Amino acid sequence: MSAAAPASAPGAPPAPPPSDGDKDDRLVSVGRVRRLLMTPEVGAGSAAVLVFVGFTLVSPVFASQAGLANFLDPAATMGIMAIAVALLMIGGEFDLSTGVLTGSTALVTALAVTELNMNVWLGILLSLGFALAVGAVNGVMVHLTKLPSFIVTLGMMFVLWGLNYAVTQRLTGQVTVSGVRQYSGYDSARALFGSAVGPFQVSLVWWLLLTAVGAIVLLKSRWGNWIFALGGNSDAARAVGVPVMRVRVGLFMTTAAAAWLVGTLTVIRYGNATVTSGIGLEFYFIIAAVIGGCLLTGGAGSVIGASIGALIFGMVQQGMPLVGLPSEFFRTILGLVLLAAVLVNLWIKKRAMKVTS
Amino acid sequence: MSENPALTAPPDHATTTPVLEVRAITKSFGRVTALRDVTCAVREGEVTCVLGDNGAGKSTFIKTLSGYHAPDSGEMLIDGEPVRFSSPRDALDRGIATVYQDLAIAPLMPVWRNFFLGSEPTRLGMIRTREAKRIVVEEMAKMGISVRDPDQPIGTMSGGERQCVAIARAVYFGARVLILDEPTAALGVRQSGVVLKYVMRARERGLGVIFITHNPNHAYLVGDHFVLLKRGQTVSDMTREETTLRGLAQEMAGGAELEALEHELGRAAQTA
């Protein structure tokens, strides 16, 4: 490791790194501690701690039970989506239809229950089937056409957006479908999707559970290895026998299923669904995933990081008015956090790929 | 006649059955005949170099051997038994592993994840991470490369080392024949040396190696015999004893063609 050695001269062949004698062919080593500090989770985690401490210092109520519940609530639904979106982004794809789909799934459940006099559980299952079908269509189209998923899912987003309005209007004459609470099966569904312990919502449990499951799948299962490879080099993955189509379609179906869960949590908790819900949220999910260390080019990222990204989102959203910052600036602040995170990620990637020679 | 001390005697051609053999294979795409009556064999512990200029049919030849294309006619034999590959996976399952020039790796993924990609060792669906990392270190050590940290992104390795990981991977997963697609084409002199040493290690371990290249210098360093392709046809098939480096280079450049070129360039230089 001759740090003083100059970079290879221009015009020279792709030379081996200048080094000490016969050791030039072994792996370059990066210190484990340094590598740990460079992981996206640590970066996002320190940012989260900083935000939390900052808000608490200005307004101690931020750290009270009510304060915690206040920011953990939006963080939970954001986090559930960010986990799935992070997995998809690590796999090298985007999904812009996720936001609107959280609204669509809630509407499907609400409409099925109220219009068809259906048991709430059946409505929820029907909605799950709908979500998985949407995810499968997204995934299969992206896989077969090789079109950018950005375009394919943008199309899907507008299709769903229009359907949300049109179908709801035509069936009910309204923009909100309410009254789900009166139907059979609601109470048991509420226990799972709409209950709360004190000020803490059950969505928090779903979020933590899915963070754990997502992290284990990504880091420990072969599917996780395939997801990294799909985003890192999908041709290479195919060449060594990874079932590329199944992984890709599976990822789109996972984000759709997460959207279904968020839609279900909403419709059961409030007992109604409205046509405007979910619109525009897809960018928040992507922002949370990127703050957590996902590269837009795929191949790298973290589930835990994405969850921390969602936590930061919740804290900033709820903390700003609390400390006297005008909440109209929320999106501006979020944008700045995103830019900062992207710059840090870029730096991390460069450090990780740098051959110290 | 530089005799390479690393070269041990190749197996006796008369007595051993080639582990992989192709006889008179032909492959056309529309009106273009990419391969015509190409014959080639490789035995265990032997390096067969397939040389050819651009457009000689090397890529089609590799893709036929590795199961991407089925030949239109001709025979492929493994251990003397006729076979037909239905897919690259099929060829791989029969021990024919191909290492492509554009390395099949995901650069940001750790070395060990790349090594086991598609064939992860699992228990109850979970990857046995510790075992996987240990195996990577061991397998690379067997080939003379010390991997200190299998968690290193593979993109941080040099081109030669990445080739070596790809080869080690193929060897570990039970390859009997290694097909190397221009493994030194994109490398500098020193990195090429690493890969060539590695090819010799694979040969010593009893693998048959088909080494595709357009570099006669590299071919002559490791080859036991040499097949020359030109416009999809075998123009010569020589053992190491039957040729020299100069002969090989001459043959490859097309002998007379090279002389003509020398002449032409010489004259151009004079008139300039």
Task: Fill in the DSSP letter of residue A61.
Answer: G
Q: Which of A25, A230, A238, A349 is the best residue to mutate to test the B interface, defined by the most B CB atoms within 10 Å of its own CB? A: A25
Beta strand B233-239 with B225-230 is antiparallel
Taking the alpha carbons of A85, A90, A91, A96 in that order, is the dihedral positive or negative? positive
Alpha helices in chain B (DSSP H): 58-65, 88-93, 111-116, 129-142, 159-172, 189-204, 216-222, 245-253, 256-271
* Residue B2 predicted with pLDDT over 50: no
Q: How close, in Å, is residue B60 to chain A by CA atoms?
A: 17
CB-based contact B136:B147 (threshold 8 Å): yes
Containing structural domain, residue A260: 64-353
* Residue B43 predicted with pLDDT over 60: yes
Q: How many structural domains is chain A composed of?
A: 1
A-chain residues within 8 Å CB-CB of B161? 25, 27
Q: Token pair for residue B75?
A: 């025979």
B-chain residues within 8 Å CB-CB of A226? 117-118
Three-state SS at A272: strand
Inter-chain residue contact B104 with A235, CB threshold 8 Å: yes
pLDDT at B89: 77
Q: Nearest 10 degrees: CA dihedral of B87, B89, B93, B95?
A: 90
Query: Which is more confident, B20 or A37?
Result: B20
Inter-chain residue contact B113 with A237, CB threshold 8 Å: no
- CATH number of the domain that A115 lies in? 1.10.3470
Q: How close, in Å, is residue B141 to chain A by CA atoms?
A: 10
Does residue A223 fall inside a structural domain?
A: yes
Does residue A36 fall inside a structural domain?
A: no
Half-sphere exposure (Cβ direction) of B14: Cα atoms closer than 13 Å: 0
Identity of the residue in A24, A29, A221 whose CB atom sits nearest the CB atom of B126: A221
CB-based contact A145:A212 (threshold 8 Å): no
Instruction: Return the residue of B nearest to A17 by Cα.
Output: B158
Instruction: Report CA-CA distances (Å) from B6 to A36, B200, B203, B225.
Output: 43, 8, 11, 15
Inter-chain residue contact B156 with A239, CB threshold 8 Å: no
Q: Which of B63, B99, B116, B117 is the best residue to mutate to test the A interface, defined by the most A CB atoms within 10 Å of its own CB? A: B117
Does residue A26 fall inside a structural domain?
A: no
Fold observed for domain B20-271: Rossmann fold (3.40.50)
Does residue A68 fall inside a structural domain?
A: yes
Does residue A323 fall inside a structural domain?
A: yes
Instruction: Return the residue of A nearest to B113 by Cα.
Output: A225
Q: Nearest 10 degrees: CA dihedral of B110, B111, B112, B115?
A: 130
Between positions 186 and 225 of A, the ones with CB within 8 A of B are 216, 220-222, 224-225
B-chain residues within 8 Å CB-CB of A354? 156
Closest CA to A278 of A291, A297, A265: A265
Three-state SS at A54: helix
B-chain residues within 8 Å CB-CB of A222? 120, 122, 125, 127
10-residue mean pLDDT series, chain A (357 residues): 40 40 43 68 88 94 93 96 97 96 97 95 97 98 95 97 95 92 94 93 96 96 95 85 93 98 96 93 95 89 95 94 88 91 79 55
What angle separates helix A244-270 from helix A120-145, to the nearest 10 degrees?
Answer: 150
Does residue A111 fall inside a structural domain?
A: yes
CB-based contact A223:A243 (threshold 8 Å): no
Average pLDDT, chain B: 82
Closest CA to B69 of B85, B81, B80, B53: B85
CB under 8 Å to B237, separation ≥6 — which residues?
B39, B40, B225, B226, B227, B228
pLDDT above 90 coverage of chain B, percent: 13
Does residue A56 fall inside a structural domain?
A: no
Inter-chain residue contact B188 with A14, CB threshold 8 Å: yes
A229 touches chain B (CB under 8 A): yes
Inter-chain residue contact B106 with A233, CB threshold 8 Å: yes
Highest mean pLDDT among A15-24, A265-274, B36-45, B103-112: A265-274
Q: Token pair for residue A339?
A: 């830019």
ipTM reported for the complex, 2 dp: 0.78
